[in-house]
Structure 1
């Protein structure tokens, strides 16, 4: 944690800041070891040039914060207090340049911070701070492995319950129950179980649709373990599928493998998208690959990078992201096969181990 906070103070020097605010709860955790969802209440890690960092939390989180972090300065505010007035009492005058996470702050909080600090200039530091987190440490990788193991076991147990007539939401409930039983803090995003034509919706909403033979069943789920996420998608066959269904599946499987084989330090993220997309294009399904090929993850389910054809940033050892090409055909259904991968010194490590070959379930 001390090394991470040191990076924030180096950023203060680089950007000639007087104060820097970290307000995203997951990033407060990243830099301090303390996590809480404050809901509508104000919470921030505050780094003032030349001073020790200050963690400000709602009073109901104060004792937990003191126990969770080794920071020497932790303050709190009561629900009846204006947190920005409390903050103002702990800041020196003469603040001119303030650094913020613009993607997290709403306009009301931005204006309140600006008034409390008296800052004349506000610098957005989202990209600089995101770059701190893009290379995962071994400790972070260990947590990600545990999150992956948890979701793979939960999915493996849940698919045994699939049979014609069971609904999507029933399978969601079974899957999320198993996540918690296996040690997850909770889902890392809204659990997705889709059947039939709805598998052709990249972000479909589970409902009361029932599983039927001769159709796809898509499960896209992940968990948080020790604060870190996993993200797994597998598409299953419920009974015997048509030849076209099988062709779509094999095309996506080839695209997934082609993308992973292209991973190594120094290549562009755009080239990974191309590796997957060219397979799908060559099979005549290019118009149905309507999503990006993957995304980074870690403390958040969606982090840098976004893997699409226009991203010419280069892969670096220690990056972690998803490989998830898909085909989505309205009126028929779709396939997505998603793995979690890590860039190694010489190439790639596939962190997920759940089988990818087409698996028949429910019969």
Structure 2
């Protein structure tokens, strides 16, 4: 399969399996067999096969059209390169698998490479996108149309390098420095999201200056295109379908872990990717918040609260929270009161979200928990969301410090609105969270899973 380029001919690119498109090769040569194997593997890539009948039927029923993925990928690269130009960088070196996903729309063992740096990507400001992938994985990005070249990654983690790590660092850095010199037009400054000190030092020895790549990527990811919103909306629909299956399974006698597994199952069945946390608790474990799910058996009359933190189809995050009442009984007055406070806070704070509103003004005007619940408040009122939780994070006004960044809400931003309500020293607590798009005229709530009507008093 010929390498595809969205950026033109960049000359001296070292392909993993170089050959001339259209050229003839011996039918049983290693090159021919390798090419055929790569073509077969690329055609069977999970992102090419799609998400399956269950997810597709749910998206059709929800009336969400399919995204234009090639347009979305081009939009993302344009966003990255605009940030690089604005900050005068020759390119970006990316290790975070979420940032690599944003730049290339390709995946490979996402959680494993998040803590084992064996996959990285270089995006030249004026030049190619070069993906350094795990051994024999060049076929995993063939579908994207935006990766110009794939090279084998040189990993210098101790697992591979042992006491010879320094030599591996030197070999790795030489390849990065060559790319910068070739495509930087004399600019030796690059943005890097995550890099250990050995790499920074060796690049500096070779004349390459390293700066904060998180600033580049978070600002690139801040404004979503219409196609990204379609992807995100589809991920939320899939998440909420899995939540419905989870709610059906909620019966007295089920353990927290067993209930949480239903969300995982529903996400994976619809082509989702992973869940970032284990935030589900029941009864007395709901106060204070942030207990991870356990073997506790859920009892009739318990509140069950959870935060999905789910990376679903297309790699988009569906970050929703709900609190349910277990069993067929009626809630207590205290349970209804806590739920009403949380629901009112979410409704009030969502109404404030409009383009042109500053972060500080949004925080100052937001509704906060009452005094007996304020000490146990959630850590933030709002936070950005896209392929994962993203910039900005907006605390309560009382928690705003002189190093809290201000900004302005803009159309295309998506934020989650958070509420946790539990009395200090109380028995239970309530967690609710919605995902909201900032539009040209106001906002659109993307999440739609109904709140528990019994807890609302209906």
TM-score in terms of structure 2 length: 0.70
Q: 1:7: how far off? A: 4.5
**CA RMSD after TM alignment:** 2.7
Whether 2:105 is the aligned partner of 1:17: answer no
Equivalent residue for 2:410? 316
Looking at structure 1, the residues matched to 219 and 125 of structure 2 have their Cα atoms a distance apart, in angstroms, of 21
Whether 2:371 is the aligned partner of 1:277: answer no
Q: 1:166: how far off? A: 1.6
Q: Is the 8 A contact 2:352 2:366 kept in 1?
A: no
Q: 1:357 to 1:88 in 2, by over 3 A?
A: same
More helix by share: 2
Equivalent residue for 1:46? 122
Structure 1 residue matching 2:312: 3-state secondary structure: strand
Q: Is the 8 A contact 2:273 2:312 kept in 1?
A: yes
Equivalent residue for 2:207, pick from 90, 107, 118: 118
Q: 1:113: how far off? A: 4.2
Equivalent residue for 1:334? 429
Looking at structure 2, the residues matched to 292 and 89 of structure 1 have their Cα atoms a distance apart, in angstroms, of 42
1:278-334, CA deviations, whole angstroms, 9 ceiling, x for partnerless residues? 4x23x753333242112111112x101102233532111111011111113344111
Query: Number of matched residues?
Result: 353
1:119-138 matches, within 5 Å, as: 119=208, 121-138=209-226
Looking at structure 2, the residues matched to 160 and 89 of structure 1 have their Cα atoms a distance apart, in angstroms, of 54
- Could you tell me which runs of 5 or more consecutive residues in structure 1 were left unpaired when the two chains were aligned: none
Decide which structure has the larger Cα Rg and report it. 2
More strand by share: 1
Q: Is the 8 A contact 1:233 1:336 kept in 2?
A: yes
Q: 1:217 to 1:55 in 2, by over 3 A?
A: same
Equivalent residue for 1:249, pick from 339, 342, 345: 339
Looking at structure 1, the residues matched to 452 and 363 of structure 2 have their Cα atoms a distance apart, in angstroms, of 21
1:182-241, CA deviations, whole angstroms, 9 ceiling, x for partnerless residues? 332232x22432101111232211111121233311122134211111011111123333
1:218-233 matches, within 5 Å, as: 218-221=305-308, 222-233=310-321
Equivalent residue for 2:324? 236
1:245-290, CA deviations, whole angstroms, 9 ceiling, x for partnerless residues? 2111101110010011111111123444444434x23x75333324
Equivalent residue for 2:242? 154
Equivalent residue for 2:262? 174
Looking at structure 2, the residues matched to 12 and 354 of structure 1 have their Cα atoms a distance apart, in angstroms, of 39
- Could you tell me which runs of 5 or more consecutive residues in structure 2 were left unpaired when the two chains were aligned: 1-72, 162-167
Q: 1:28: how far off? A: 1.7
1:23-172 matches, within 5 Å, as: 23-36=95-108, 37=110, 38=113, 40-48=116-124, 51-77=127-153, 82=168, 85-86=171-172, 88-89=174-175, 91-92=177-178, 97-102=188-193, 104-115=194-205, 117-119=206-208, 121-172=209-260
Q: 1:12: how far off? A: 4.3
Q: Is the 8 A contact 1:277 1:286 kept in 2?
A: no
Q: 1:216 to 1:83 in 2, by over 3 A?
A: same
Looking at structure 1, the residues matched to 427 and 454 of structure 2 have their Cα atoms a distance apart, in angstroms, of 19
Q: Is the 8 A contact 1:213 1:240 kept in 2?
A: no
Looking at structure 2, the residues matched to 287 and 253 of structure 1 have their Cα atoms a distance apart, in angstroms, of 18
Q: 1:86: how far off? A: 4.8
Q: 1:50: how far off? A: 5.1
Equivalent residue for 2:284? 197
